[in-house]
Structure 1
Amino acid sequence: MSETPVTSPSPAPVSTKASVANRPHGGLGDAMRLWWDALPRPTQWVVGFPLVVFIALLPVLNLPVLTTVGTNFGAVMAQFGMYALIAIGLNVVVGQAGLLDLGYVGFYAVGAYTVAILTSPSSPWNQTGDGGWLSRDWAWLAALPIAVAITALSGLLLGSPTLRLRGDYLAIVTLGFGEIVRLLADNLDDVTGGGRGLSQVAYPRIGISEDNTNGVFSAGASSGTLNSGVWWYWLSIVLILGTLVFVGNLERSRVGRSWVAIREDEDAAEIMGVPTFRFKLWAFVIGASIGGASGALYAGQVQFVNPTNFNVINSVLFLCAVVLGGQGNKLGVILGAFLIVYLPNFFLGRTELFGIPINGTEIAEFRYLFFGLALTVLMVFRPQGLIPVRQKLLTYGRELYVTARRTVRKDAA
């Protein structure tokens, strides 16, 4: 007499979003992240769009709580947009793939100098004059993809021989790359202008009128509350949104899963068949290209490029934005970039705060000291940053382990 095999009931599917929503959290950043992860993707778009519109209108609204006193708030937000784009690119390298890059300012400089060399009248390779192949009105927009491509190529050339290094060794190599780029820009007088720099860099000539004869993107252009800083801020938001969509799709693909595996344990990832060198090189090239886009944004916005703006201190500030906001979290690093840019400008020019007399200008000059203290405190009490990333591989592994234990107990009962 044959026995009918008894099949155990299949375990109920575990809802990832539900489990994420019910998981205990330990702070405001965790609560925000878990709440956002629990929303369906269409709901995220519905909630996110009004938020993006509100953020875009901040320079126009001039909210008393946020508006800066000593400098134009639109210019501050334009600088924030540029730093946010830098932070997103550096987050791909440091936060996603776990590669310590201390010379990211080098890619920033390559993007800025590419636009300046192609469009500045002071450059011997200027392509906007007679006989050039760039239209003067659209020179910046045409030079932007060129800057991205050249910066990506520089990332490929740097990463190919160096990404087999790890940890401190890779940090030293990237730090040297940033300094080499700065020194080349300072010494190649015939091409980069040396210490004099390159002036009159092209910018989008849009919105030309009697009030703004050079267009709304020209430095100093103003029409009521819509000055040039506001327009550059809006342009940076467009670039940031496009970059976020691109990077977000990568994170949800095999590439993103490979980056997380490499970040958590590179040796284990390689044993499991992940081609670690190839995916690290991808992260390096993608991060470099985003850095080149931010450099092109800087060159067009300031319309002047010189080597002093691409020093090690700026590279450390970029890394501070990533660490402060939360490595691996795109929205977290944007918040970190906002704090890095906004806080010094918030104190600049203020004589009192909440009724207490202060010297805001002197406080702003000690920003590096304050950022250092803030990072020290953060590393002690919250090393994962203000808005930490959810460790996807570890989270899914834990859910699988809990589900397996429940199934075994049910079968035993």
Structure 2
Amino acid sequence: MDWFYIQGILILSGINLLAVLGLSLLTGFTGLFSFGHAGFMAIGGYITAMMTVNFGIPFIPALLIGGLSASLISLIIGKLTLNLKGDYFCIATLGFGEAIRLILDNIQYFGGARGWAGIPMKTNLMNVAIINIIGIIILVNIIKSRHGRNMKAIREEEMASQIVGINVFKYKLTSLAISAAYAGVAGGMLAHYLGFLQPRMFQLIKSTELTIIVIFGGLGSISGSIIGALTLTALPEMLRTFSQWRLVVYGAAVIFIMISRPQGLMGGYEITISNIKKLFSRLSRRKSETGAD
């Protein structure tokens, strides 16, 4: 296993991580399940590629435009769907994701169903790492802010949040827009890593994969999203020795962890310096108590 192969896995993990961070804000911290984030990735990927290939815009500004485009589309979708309750919003986002894929299938400007080749390969491990660090810092600050606390209140009890004066619709829409922006930037990085885009890359299975990673890592945990993205992106590659059975083993491993730890790996907890200190103090206290006995 050479460095080029490992680097490729790390880049794909970083791309997935950025989309998962956005979905974590929407699902883990605001309580809205979405199966349409592959659609936002597709919008970001195609718009970013259009900016770099057809208009000659540098990679980073093009990424920002791709993320902004996905965010603007999410505002339109959100205004139409966020008043839906429970499973209906989830179904609406599923329909949106599939609609985006089918629309791109028929736009010949982007290559249609054949796909779009010749996209410059600008994504590398360095810019993926930097963008992810920036994305994590932004998300942490959002969660720690008053707006983040309002989003968590909506997740816990929407009716009570509305009674105390929180604008529930506004915060849901904000969460969706930020989440879509993350997915759009991730789509742009994916396009410029593979050098090729095709609508079938953004099928429902991609949205499902992102949702599984969020749940696997732990709802309401940024640390869990990071661990989940790195683990579940690398795991299929580590299981290649099982040949055609690798995805079966992958699925069985995910199911086993979900059953044994339904709250996810982190269960809403974060890996912070203070939490690590508390853990070590508890372990040392237990050790001393055991020694005293």
Measured against the shorter chain, the TM-score band is: 0.7 to 0.9
Q: For residues 220-264 of structure 1, what are the alpha-carbon distances to aligned partners after superposition, in whole Å with 9 as ceiling and x for unaligned?
A: xxxxxxxxxxxx222111111101111111111111111111111
1:237-276 superposed matches below 5 A: 237-276=129-168
User: Is the aligned partner of 1:385 residue 2:264?
Assistant: yes
Q: Is the 8 A contact 1:151 1:289 kept in 2?
A: yes
- Report the TM-score when normalising by structure 1: 0.62
Q: How does 1:80-119 map to 2 (within 5 A)?
A: 80-119=13-52
- Tell me, yes or no, if the aligned pair for 1:179 and 1:312 is still in contact at 8 Å: yes
1:327 aligns with 2:209: no
As a proportion of its length, which structure holds more helix? 2
* Deviation, structure 1 residue 375: 4.1
Aligned partners of 1:371 and 1:98: how far apart in 2? Answer: 27
Aligned pairs for 1:14-413 within 5 A: 68=1, 72-120=5-53, 126-128=54-56, 134=57, 139-189=58-108, 191-204=109-122, 232-348=124-240, 350=241, 360-364=242-246, 367=247, 369-390=248-269
Q: Is the 8 A contact 1:116 1:198 kept in 2?
A: no
Gaps of 5+ in 1: 1-67, 121-125, 129-133, 205-216, 218-231, 351-359, 392-413
Q: TM-score, normalised by structure 2?
A: 0.87
- In the aligned structure 2, how far is the partner of 1:370 from the partner of 1:273? 48
For residues 42-96 of structure 1, the C-alpha deviation after alignment (integer angstroms, 9 at most, x for no partner) is xxxxxxxxxxxxxxxxxxxxxxxxxx57x81111111111111111111011101
**1:371–1:166 CA distance, 2 compared to 1 (3 A):** farther
Structure-1 separation of matches of 2:164 and 2:139: 24
Whether the aligned pair in 2 keeps the contact of 1:105 and 1:314 (CA below 8 Å) is: yes
Determine if contact 1:140/1:203 at 8 Å carries over to the other structure. Answer: no
For the residues of structure 1 that align with 2:150 and 2:18, how far apart are their CA atoms? 23
253 and 203 in structure 1: CA distance in 2 versus 1, 3 angstrom threshold: same
Q: Which runs of 4+ in 1 moved over 6 A?
A: none
* Cα distance in 1 between the residues matched to 2:208 and 2:253: 14
Shift of 1:117: 2.2
Question: Match for 1:329: what amino acid?
Answer: S
SS of equivalent to 1:181: helix
Q: What is the CA distance between 1:199 and its match in structure 2?
A: 1.5
The 1:108–1:173 alpha-carbon spacing in structure 2 relative to 1, beyond 3 Å, is same
1:158 corresponds to which letter in structure 2? I
Q: Give the aligned residue type for 1:313.
A: I
* Structure 1 residue 118: Cα displacement: 2.6
CA RMSD of superposed structures (Å):
1.9
Same amino acid, percent of matched pairs: 32
Q: Which amino acid aligns with 1:250?
A: I
Counterpart secondary structure, 2:99: helix
Query: Alignment length, in residue pairs?
Result: 270
Cα distance between partner residues in 1 of 2:5 and 2:166: 49
Whether the 8 Å contact between 2:223 and 2:269 is mirrored in structure 1 is no
CA distance in 1, matches of 2:199, 2:9: 22
Mapped to 1, the partners of 2:245 and 2:106 lie a distance apart of: 35
1:203 CA displacement: 4.1
Residue identity opposite 2:29 in structure 1: Q
Q: Give how far 1:168 is off.
A: 0.7
Question: How far did residue 154 of structure 1 move?
Answer: 0.8
Give the counterpart letter for 2:24 in structure 1: N
Q: Which has the higher contact order (CA 8 A, sep 6+)?
A: 2
2:40 and 2:201 mapped to 1: Cα distance?
13
**SS of residue paired to 1:273:** coil
Q: Which has the greater radius of gyration?
A: 1
Please report how far the alpha carbon of residue 371 of structure 1 lies from its aligned counterpart in structure 2 after TM superposition: 4.5
> What amino acid maps onto 2:185 in structure 1?
A
SS at match of 1:72: helix
Give the distance between the partners of 1:83 and 1:390, measured in 2 at CA. Answer: 21
Deviation at 1:186, TM superposition (A): 0.4
Is residue 140–residue 202 contact of structure 1 (8 Å, CA) maintained in 2? Answer: no
Q: Matched residues in 1 for 2:146 and 2:250: separation? A: 36
Alpha-carbon offset, residue 273 of structure 1: 1.3
Residue 274 of structure 2 is matched in structure 1 by none
Q: For residue 273 of structure 1, what is the amino acid of its counterpart? A: G
